[in-house]
Structure formats: structure tokens, C-alpha cells
Structure 1
């Protein structure tokens, strides 16, 4: 039976890897390792929905496989604090109820999330030191410090009796990260002496030649750009990129400006960073009420909203409806971030709104004011040369990224490469690594304070209503099953007001004709009446508009 193989074979000589999220896609990371009767989870993240899922903001992996085995779940290790690695913890932990392990900064951010869900006192969260070593069930864990676009990214060395795995998490090799420790080259090189069984690694930039670049280079370029601006400046970047926040703060000081933070997540990240020992020694931030007391060329706004999020601070500035802060003609917005695939349209709409307001736009198309947090091809090659695993398992990428990563591993003479998708049960040991099973893997949507499968009838009907409209019909039947009065028909998202009366009359005729054609037995069957009335409405609307609306029919009888 599907999924039973691994459950029956988690012996002392066996080691399995099972991705339930983040493999075949970017985001929603959920990785499982199985050994000696236990499971270890690495990361538990979310992604954000787009306009194709109306009313839904957050998506996450379907964790049903491990929920059904939660008695065997030894713990959850978090590699770093990005939403696609920790964001699902408050939503899914109540179904998992396992210990959680994280370093200081990640733990600080997670505690705030848990508090919002009323879980702060329930979740057993253990804060572990950088480069820490600890046990989780039969798994011996060592953290190796790397660099990324957030403080304290960790590779996870997972040692078992069946072999050792390096789970890289998100990383790059930044020689001058500015905030936090540098990557631990010595520990990475030392892994080659351990005969590492497998490296499970980040594939995001496997198609990008060269290296990601250093945060120190961004600081130099931002300084050059901002020093030439003469009015108020807003800088939009990912709030989680603490090194970028520090860069903006230092550049502001060097160019004679004071910083004002805009956006809830910006304030939250800064609080966590300061609490964890980062962002030290800067001038006090301006409050929103203070900035108008300073000349415009002495103010810098550090904003959320670089991806065009409609409720973020930058969109409110673009629309001119921020309650306390405004941008004027001749001010500038600096986008120090990359475009996340899928956000292109939202970002263009935002930038067009800013341009129409007379605000200058500066982004990485013309200036080197952003670097990626993920390894380019040369960095991947370097990692394989250091670690020298026997098996490469690309994760954290779409199919094209995984294939490119596997090719790099092959060129680096890694003996085996396994390209898989969410739900693929990979047996790493004993014997040759291979996919041995496929378990259910899907997505959950957070909708109206509840979790629903993405294929839920609620989600599907919501999508259909948004794209096709809706119609509701009430028919009253007498004791003979004939219409008693006019049908009551209402629609949403179908007709323009000036045409609605005429179109409703046509729907009325279609409903009457449908009821009239029913046989005596069908007239006494509510389901039969609902079916033919619904069909009549959908066919009529399809003929008029080319749409097939969601149709609700209510039958009332007087006998």
C-alpha cells in the first residue's frame, strides 16, 4: 500500500529522505529523514498565494504523512528564519506536537509567531548555539554556519548508524557578509574525511553562472546611488535581510540621513535582530511623526513592500493613503531586492503608480544594489569539491533548477544524482540510493482560520465563482409540483446593472420551461428539480456570456 514501505522498514541499517515540500518548487520546505524507527523533520515553511486562489494568502505542505506517524517524529530542526522554512510551524505544529530546535535569531522570530497563535507556552522550543551539536532521537545533529540573506543560516549534518547526510539549507559563500559569522570553511572541508553519504542541497541558482556576490559590494553601490539623491528616499528590501537593513542604516548615516522604519514586519525583524545581538550602534530611528520636522534630504524610509504586496507600506505610499508619511514628486524609491517569480505584475503595477506620482524608481536593472542569497554554479562546484558526497539530492528548486543542479554534481564526479519531487521516498542506505516509494504530498491552504487541502471543494468553488460568477434561484412548488409564483433569481459577477433586468427575464423563462418539462415523478424529487433548474441557468448564462456560473437552487414546497 502507498507509503507503507518506509513505515515498515525504518531499521538500524536504513536511512530515508522524504521531501514533502520544496522539491520541485521554491518555497514551503518540509524535509523528513527516517532512521531506526524515527523521523527527523528539517524545516517547515510556507509560501504565499497569488490571484488564482481568491481569499487565500498562505499555502503550506500537506503534512498528513508525518501527522499519521507523529509518535515517531523525534523533532523539528530549523535551518534559518525565512518564511519558507519556518512559516508553517504555528499552523501545523498542533498536529505534530514535536520538539523544535533553532539558533538564537530564528528562535526569537519564531517566538513572536507562536505568541500570535497562542502557542508560545505550548511549543517545546530549544535554542541551540551556532555550530552546536545535539541529539534528536537516533539522529546526531551538528550545525555548520553558512552565509545567506538572513542571520544564522545553518547547514545540518545528520549522522546516523546508516550514514551521514549534509542538508545545506539555503546558503551562499559570501566572503564579507557584514552581519553575522562567516561560513565555516574548515568544518565543510573536514566533512570530506567522514565519507558523507549524501548532500541534500539548495538548487535555486543552479542555472546562474558565477557566484552570488557579497553584501559588502551592495553597500558600496547603494552608497553611491543614495549620495546622489537630493530629496526624500525610500528603500524597499526584504525585511529578513538584516545585513541589507544594516547597509541601509549605515548608508543613511554616511549620507546625512535619519532612518524611519515603515511596515510591521520591518519593526519585528529589527527587534529580533537587536535582541539577538545584531544591528548594534546605530542612531535612534525616527518615528513616523518626526520625519516632517526634518528637511526632505535628511530622511530615509526603510520600507516593506518590495514585492508589490498591496497592504505593505510602499503601496500605501504609492497610493498616497499612508496615515502619517508621504512621498512627493522628485522623491525616490530604491528597490534593493530581486523580483520573486510570480510577483512581476504586482511590482510593475506598484512602480507604475510611483512613476505616475512623479517619484523616481531605482532598481537593480541599472545599479548593482542587490545580490542573491543562494549559490551560483561556481559556489555549488566549490561545495561539492569540499564535501565530496557519494549521492547528490537537489532540493529547493523547480524541476529545471533540480536538473541543472544534478548536472553540476555529475560534472563534479559525484557518483549518484537523484532528481525527485515532493512525495518521493528516497532510500539512501543500505545499498545504492534509489526512489522506493511515492507517498501522498500536496498543499494546504489557510482559509478563514482553517486549513483546507488545495483540492478542497471550498477552494475549487471559490475559484469558479471568481472567474465565472454565481447565480442563486429559489423556486416554490405547489402540491402538484408546479410553480407557485415567480422564481426568485439573483446573480453576482455576471451582468452589468443596465442589462440585468432583461437578462434576468430570460433566465426566468428558462427556469419556467425547465420545470414545465419535468415529468410527474421528477416534480416530486427535489434533487431532480434542482438539477434541471441549475442546468437551465448555466446553459442560458453560457449562451449569453460564455460563462458557466456556480449555481445554487433552493426548492420550497407547499403541500
Structure 2
């Protein structure tokens, strides 16, 4: 854990500190939820605003968001939200968290098209000002001078962001790789990176996801060639699942289907949105007409290719519904094939294997990147990181975007290349200047959970109660009392997850003990409704603990008759 020196150039809350600072609020020490702040002499910009998946450590939630509370309290000083690229772990929180930020958004044409659709779905389309910046463009949010530098990644128009202030320049890489044949989108602008390095770069805030991997991440063009050969040899229906935002991969799958004489259907709403955004930005102009979902059944199996959402095992995704045989139109069965053209995001392993198992149970042949060459990463391996170091020549490297093992691997690599590394975690306040860079403070961070149409804290409150219910059950005791608090008639105890209908005699015993407890409470206490219910709740909890050895969530309902 990064430690604070106890020094600070100014208060963290209220007025922003002086100098030039960097604060990751999400995405450093974890995969997903990328949300970063740069501050300079009282002003702020935010870079990316993503989501993440909860994983087995938080089964009560599915989608997580970084807590923006720190910057939301100072949003009048927030000059804008700058988006590096259109992946969910960088834009998935925008529509949900923008009401707390209420600032302009700056993005490239493709990313802006994707974000507009998300904001429109959230009913915010007319409220949010989006400034479209061309790839490689420059703009100013005083006191910050900002410049996009085109990078290659597994979605179009990924941009590194050069952040220049009077204290120096920091290059925030976003997600990137070095790929001379990215299929769709720009190659890495090495000339611009070298030019930036010639001018002097104080620090490189760098993607660490593949910092443990030797060599090179591989080329998207090679995956396209492999998929074309694979799909051309397979009989039956074929479904390929990948990230909807990986427009290059989606394009490669479509081209492979066309070469194999197959009609292509996009299955999953997010795929349609991303393809529409790509076409709006000038990509994918020559793709064939897609088969509407409702017409999938009219196409012979050997002439059909499905591009499907759900590569991460999301429970409500198209692929999960196909695996459960609950999708309205798309069906896979004996003799068909499902190709996973993606990697497992850490934390999603159980969900993905559950979907794969369900497909295999239905007789579907499941092919992953362990079986065939179906995927390359969009993140730099060690040779690519070293290449970037040599182009940019930063004075310091700040590893971000990854779990601790990834951050540590990049820090060690940078130091082996003779560049000091600054290790930090979410909430650390890294001051780039004045003076030598150092961690000077920490700010509060946290996680929020998407719960239906609302956002709630992951810890405590609603989800805390749900977690307790998950592991210990819930008990509801109900009874009628007169105006003086005297119980009338019988009581009722409901305990879903603890008592079932076959345990009628046991339920009667619990209800008998609960009634006896109520009658034994002092009259004076029963005359106070709040105290009466609190005592009844505590007593029922003890009864259930005695019988089950658990401490369930207990609620008591009293209907008072006057």
C-alpha cells in the first residue's frame, strides 16, 4: 500500500490543492472502474468513468462503479470529463454517474457516438454537452493543455492523453497496444509520441494489464486470418461471442462469415448500438445487411453465423439466454458451435464457465482461445511497454489499470529500464509538482453497485442487508396487538431460506416460542411501540439463532388494533 508522507500543498476537500496532482479513484489495483483525476491549482479534469464486474466477492451485486463523491463535492471546479476510448471499463459509468459530475464530456467521434446512445437511454441526451475531438486533436481546459495521441487498442480511436500544465507534461496512456495491422482504426502514432518525448515528459501513467506477459500481445490481423479459417471449416450453426466494443473483432467475424457463405445476425442490443456508432463514425461501411433476430429461424443452419453478446457470462446477456434455451429467437444445440473470441476478465471465471457448461450440456461444441487462435489482447506486453518507454522517455512511470501483481510487474520493468516507478493505489494523491513527485495525501474512495435502476453503496445499507440475507436468511415475524401492546390471537413467522413448507411442526414451535416471548415482555415496554418492536425483533433473532446457529436478518411487523 502506498503511504502518505503527511505533506500537502493545500487542503484536499474544499479548495483543490495547489500544484499538479493525480488521483486514481478507480482502476488502480483492480480491473475495471477506471476513473482518474488530474488537478492543477484549484481546477480538475476527470479521465474516463468506467464500470466493473463484481465477481464472487460480492455476489449480491453484478455491476460496480467507482464512488465519485470526492470530486462531486467539488464539481464546480471540474472542467470536464475526457474519455480515452469506448470500452465499458472506461465509459460504463458515464450515464449513471454524470448527474453527480454535471460537466462537459470530451471524446473522439466514435466514442462520442457510443456515449450519446448511453446518455439517451438514461434520459440525459439533452442535458449533457459532448465536445467531439478528432483523433490526435488538441484542446484546452485551462489551466490544462490537452492533446490526444492515437494509439492502437481493441476498439477504434483509442487515445493517449498528454496533460500539460505549467509544472510539466504527463502522458496518460489509456488502454493501448502496438499493432501494425489493427484491422479497424489507427496504428500507434509513434512520431507524435517521440515528439512528446523530445519536448520532455515528466511521467507516464501507464496501462499495466499485460505487464506480466513477455514478448508482444499479437496482431488483430492474425486473429482475423485464424477466425476466417476456423469458421470456414465448421458445420452447423456458429455463434461467436466477443466484446461488442471490439469493432475490429466484430468486423473480422462478419468477414469470416461472408467468406464462408453465411448470413450474419447480431444478437444482443449492445452489439447493434456499437455497430451503429461505428458506422456513424465512418467505420464498417461495407458490411452486408444483417439478418434480423426474428428471422434467424428462416436461415439454414450451415448458412448462419451469430455474433452474440455475453463473452463474460453476464446472466442477462444473449449468450447466457441461448445457453439456458430461453432466448426468443436464437437457438444452439447438437452439432452447433460457440466460439469465445475474448479473454476471461478476472472475477468472471465462474460465470463464463457456467455458460460454457450449459452450452456443452446442450451438445454445443465450445471453442476458446485455449483451443484455437481466437483472441489477442488489446493491452501491451513487456516488449511493447519497453518500446513506449523508449519513445516517450519519461522521468517517472506510474503503473495503473491492473491488479497489484500487474502494477508491480510494470514498476519492476520500468526500474529495470532505468526509470523510477511511483507505486500508488486508488485514493492516493500523487503530486507531480512543484518539487519532486511524491504521494502527499489520500482521499476517500469506494464502490457503488448498480441495483436495478438505482445506485447504492456496496458496503452497508441495502446491499449489506442483502448479503446478510444471502448467507443467514431472513425471518419475518407478524402479530396483532391491542392499544396497550397486548398480543391478540396467534403469531406468524415466515423464514424463506430457513424454513420450508415441509417443516410445519418446527414452524409451529418457533411461533409458539415467539408468542411466549411477546407475552413475557413487560407491560410498560409493550406500551411503547418502537421499544416493543425492537425487543420482539431481538427476541426472535435469539430464537432463530438457538434453532439454526445463524443470525438472520429479522423484521417484525405489528398491526395495532385500537
| The one of 191, 207, 221 aligned to 1:186 | 191
Map of 2:441 onto structure 1: 437
Cα 1:515–1:392 shift into 2, 3 Å = same
| The one of 446, 449, 454 aligned to 2:453 | 449
Map of 1:553 onto structure 2: 556
| The one of 501, 509, 513 aligned to 1:510 | 513
Deviation at 1:248, TM superposition (A): 0.6
SS in 2 for 1:240: coil
Instruction: Trace 1:214-233 onto structure 2 (pairs within 5 A).
Output: 214-233=219-238
Deviation at 1:214, TM superposition (A): 0.6
Matched, 1:492 2:496: yes
Deviation at 1:496, TM superposition (A): 2.1
Describe the superposition over 1:76-132 as per-residue Cα deviations: whole angstroms up to 9, x where unpaired. 110001111112111121222111100000000001011111211111100011100
Structure 2 Cα separation of the partners of residues 10 and 491 of structure 1: 51
Structure 1 Cα separation of the partners of residues 213 and 525 of structure 2: 65
Matched, 1:534 2:540: no
Matched, 1:360 2:360: no
- Gaps of at least 5 residues in structure 2 are 1-5
Q: Is the 8 A contact 1:52 1:463 kept in 2?
A: no
Q: Is the 8 A contact 2:514 2:543 kept in 1?
A: no
Cα 1:318–1:447 shift into 2, 3 Å = closer
Between 1:473-482 and 1:395-404, the stretch displaced more is: 473-482
Deviation at 1:159, TM superposition (A): 0.7
Q: Is the 8 A contact 1:510 1:536 kept in 2?
A: no
Instruction: Trace 1:332-411 onto structure 2 (pairs within 5 A).
Output: 332-411=337-416
Map of 1:276 onto structure 2: 281
Map of 2:215 onto structure 1: 210
Structure 1 Cα separation of the partners of residues 293 and 67 of structure 2: 41
Cα 1:11–1:290 shift into 2, 3 Å = closer
Map of 1:247 onto structure 2: 252
Q: Is the 8 A contact 1:172 1:379 kept in 2?
A: yes
Map of 1:307 onto structure 2: 312
Structure 2 Cα separation of the partners of residues 264 and 336 of structure 1: 18
Between 1:471-480 and 1:404-413, the stretch displaced more is: 471-480
Cα 1:476–1:138 shift into 2, 3 Å = same
Map of 1:138 onto structure 2: 143
Q: Is the 8 A contact 1:141 1:157 kept in 2?
A: yes
Structure 1 Cα separation of the partners of residues 267 and 403 of structure 2: 33
| The one of 113, 122, 143 aligned to 1:117 | 122
Cα 1:297–1:148 shift into 2, 3 Å = same
Deviation at 1:58, TM superposition (A): 2.8
Q: Is the 8 A contact 2:296 2:329 kept in 1?
A: no
Structure 1 Cα separation of the partners of residues 525 and 294 of structure 2: 70
Deviation at 1:482, TM superposition (A): 4.3
Q: Is the 8 A contact 1:5 1:437 kept in 2?
A: no
Deviation at 1:53, TM superposition (A): 4.9
Q: Is the 8 A contact 1:426 1:436 kept in 2?
A: yes
SS in 2 for 1:484: strand
Structure 1 Cα separation of the partners of residues 452 and 326 of structure 2: 27
SS in 2 for 1:142: strand
Cα 1:531–1:118 shift into 2, 3 Å = closer
Deviation at 1:155, TM superposition (A): 0.2
Map of 1:543 onto structure 2: 546
TM-score (normalizing by structure 1): 0.94
SS in 1 for 2:495: strand
Structure 2 Cα separation of the partners of residues 417 and 55 of structure 1: 37
| The one of 96, 101, 123 aligned to 2:101 | 96
Cα 1:8–1:52 shift into 2, 3 Å = closer
Cα 1:314–1:446 shift into 2, 3 Å = closer
SS in 2 for 1:281: coil
TM-score (normalizing by structure 2): 0.94
| The one of 16, 30, 33 aligned to 2:38 | 33
RMSD: 2.2
Structure 1 Cα separation of the partners of residues 311 and 317 of structure 2: 9
Structure 2 Cα separation of the partners of residues 195 and 365 of structure 1: 42
Deviation at 1:387, TM superposition (A): 1.1
Q: Is the 8 A contact 2:46 2:82 kept in 1?
A: yes
Structure 2 Cα separation of the partners of residues 230 and 453 of structure 1: 48
- Gaps of at least 5 residues in structure 1 are none
Q: Is the 8 A contact 1:54 1:462 kept in 2?
A: no
**When the two structures are aligned, how many residues end up with a matched partner?**
556
Q: Is the 8 A contact 1:99 1:124 kept in 2?
A: yes
Between 1:2-11 and 1:258-267, the stretch displaced more is: 2-11
Q: Is the 8 A contact 1:2 1:439 kept in 2?
A: no
Map of 2:3 onto structure 1: none
Q: Is the 8 A contact 1:2 1:438 kept in 2?
A: no
Deviation at 1:445, TM superposition (A): 2.0
Between 1:67-76 and 1:160-169, the stretch displaced more is: 67-76
Deviation at 1:174, TM superposition (A): 1.0
| The one of 227, 235, 241 aligned to 1:236 | 241
Matched, 1:417 2:432: no
Deviation at 1:450, TM superposition (A): 2.7
Structure 1 Cα separation of the partners of residues 182 and 59 of structure 2: 39
| The one of 4, 11, 25 aligned to 1:5 | 11
Q: Is the 8 A contact 2:242 2:342 kept in 1?
A: yes
Cα 1:9–1:110 shift into 2, 3 Å = closer
Structure 2 Cα separation of the partners of residues 51 and 510 of structure 1: 37
Deviation at 1:516, TM superposition (A): 4.3
Between 1:474-483 and 1:324-333, the stretch displaced more is: 474-483
